[in-house]
Amino acid sequence: RKVLIVYAHQEPKSLNGSLKRVAVEELSKQGCSVTVSDLYAMQFEPRATRNDIVGCLHNSEEFNYGVEAWEAYKRGGLSNDLIEEQKKVQEADLMIFQWFSMPAIMKGWMDRVLVQGFAHEFPNCYDSGLLKNKLALFSFTTGGSKEMYEKGGISGDIRYLLWPMQHGIMHFCGVKVLAPHICFAPEYVSEEKRKEMLIAWAQRLKTLWKEEPINCSPEWYFK
């Protein structure tokens, strides 16, 4: 099995960095081939611009990024960094997205890499999306406690916040989504608790391939 970890944190010694390292180690032990796109280390460009299109534009009079990226993808005219990331996605059975507070660089990766024609092409979306044979898992840390992200909490149910990312991006592209792995407020707990978070992640990874994807319907998010 092949795994792509898209990792977005500036500090390797952070808990996010440790979670990424645990995933690489545990999945490699299982015989998986693991590739990491370390977006900050790569200085990945998050902005979707004219620079993503190699050669002439489809419509030089009015720039429409979605249309131009679609046309460029069809003719093999996307920039090399996007082609490289799309190859990683194509080869992956599972994509793990590791971050704190969905930084712009991670959203930019999704905007630029998962273009029309490659990841979706209406009406081929959601259950018939072009990446329908792949799995995704969002693994991330929060600044607030678990109670803050529960129904009735000040930040709202965490599932509400995941809706546009898990459903609007991943599910839209046909990807089946595993339940998110969330480490709540690691900055405000003891070192022992942070170690327990890493152990829990390693334990989950041991049986990850046996998990069933979430329902990924509005009912799951807003029940």
Q: So what's the pLDDT on residue 169?
A: 97
Q: So what's the pLDDT on residue 101?
A: 84
What are the C-alpha distances in Å from 72 to residues 28, 35, 124, 180? 35, 26, 19, 33
What are the C-alpha distances in Å from 152 to residues 1, 75, 156, 182? 40, 49, 6, 18
Name the residue among 202, 210, 209 with its Cα closest to residue 24.
202
Q: So what's the pLDDT on residue 223?
A: 80
Q: Which residues contact 220 (CB under 8 A, 6 or more apart)?
A: 159, 214
Name the residue among 96, 167, 90 with its Cα closest to residue 131.
90
Task: Collapse the DSSP code of 117 into the 3-class scheme (helix H, G, I; strand E, B; otherwise coil) and give the result.
Answer: coil
Q: Rounded distance, CA 85 to CA 8, Å?
A: 14
Where the chain has pLDDT below 70, the residues are none
Read off the pTM. 0.96
At residue 119, φ and ψ (nearest 5 deg) are: -110, -25
Q: Rounded distance, CA 159 to CA 53, Å?
A: 35
Name the residue among 140, 180, 199, 185 with its Cα closest to residue 22.
199
Q: Can you say whether the dihedral through the CA atoms of 93, 134, 81, 103 is positive or negative?
A: negative
Name the residue among 23, 1, 200 with its Cα closest to residue 98.
23
Quick one: 2-47+78-222 is in which CATH superfamily? Flavodoxin domain (3.40.50.360)
